[in-house]
Amino acid sequence: MTDLKGLGEPRGPGFVSPDLDSWGAPRPGVPGEVVKRDPARWPRLLLAGLAVVAVSATSGAIAGGVVADDEAAPGPTPSPPAPATTAPPAAQGGVPNDLVGAAATALAGVVQVRVGNSGGSGFAVDDQGHIITNNHVVEGGGSVTVVGPDGRRLPAEVVGRDPGSDIAVLRVDPSSGLRPLALAQPGTTRVGEPVLAVGSPLGLSGTVTAGIVSALDRQVRLGNTGARRNAIQTDASINPGNSGGPLVNARGEVVGVNTAIATLEGSGNIGIGFAIPIEQAQQAAQRIISGGG
């Protein structure tokens, strides 16, 4: 089988898709008619081109831009502003139930993780300074620094790593003021619900992208153990640098840890991303923090 490697250094996990049935395709010019293809054609193309790769990033993959506003040209008199609308109510417990509020909630606890020439994301989970990220973000070794939402650079120690679950836990000084994120209750994530991926794709810290939960219990190979694990599939845009960041629901609760994306022949994000379910990540983090990881 084709060797599948991740993006950036350290290398991320490979992915083996489950067996797929042969596909048919509409014949050009004949709507609705399907022509049977070579039964082995699609699997061969898949194995040759489709890979799920870790979304850590190197320092060379940092992008940015500046947009300047030109002087506005004269135009018709603008219409009077629309009357202000009432903000959507907060969910029980004060957690916002709209995506704007969910983004604000999540951003306060998300950090950029820097390890040598590599990077990723992470998020605070308690008031003791613990941060969850991906193992493949830090497995290469070296000093670790996190950049908080306010731009401060904080030294971090690696508390422990769990390669099997691709989870690692970092720790910064508890006085850093990072806001811990609420974790979704197990079994409450639903296919079709809106979610946000929060992190530092291509080094752009504090980036939020939106999508839905595309599937649950998707079998993928995460980490370097070769074992298959259940993952959340999402179409929220995930790119190198998002590794370790949270996937949050409309209440601002973490439902998963963004870990990998599917690519076709190096085409980048194609709308298929994978996140480790938060119950798996939480269990691994608890083992690490208690010394059992």
Catalytic residue numbers, as ranges: 136, 166, 243
Burial of 117 (0-12, 13-18, 19+ CB in 10 A): middle
Alpha-carbon dihedral 102, 103, 105, 108, rounded to 10 degrees? 170
Tell me, what amino acid is at 29?
G
CA atoms lying within 13 Å on the CB side of residue 143: 4
DSSP state for residue 233 in the 8-state scheme: E
The total of other beta-carbon atoms located within 10 Å of residue 79's CB is 6
Q: Is 42 helix (H, G, I), strand (E, B) or coil?
A: helix
H helix and E strand count, the chain? 4, 16
Q: Residue for token digits 């139930």?
A: 97
Q: Residue for token digits 């059992």?
A: 292
What are the structure tokens assigned to 29, written together?
């010019």
CA atoms lying within 13 Å on the CB side of residue 214: 14
- How far is the C-alpha of 183 from the C-alpha of 279, rounded, in Å? 9
Q: Do 106 and 198 meet the contact criterion of CB atoms below 8 Å apart?
A: yes
What are the structure tokens assigned to 204, written together?
């752009």
Beta bridge partners of 170: 131, 158
CA 93 to mean position of chain CA atoms: 26
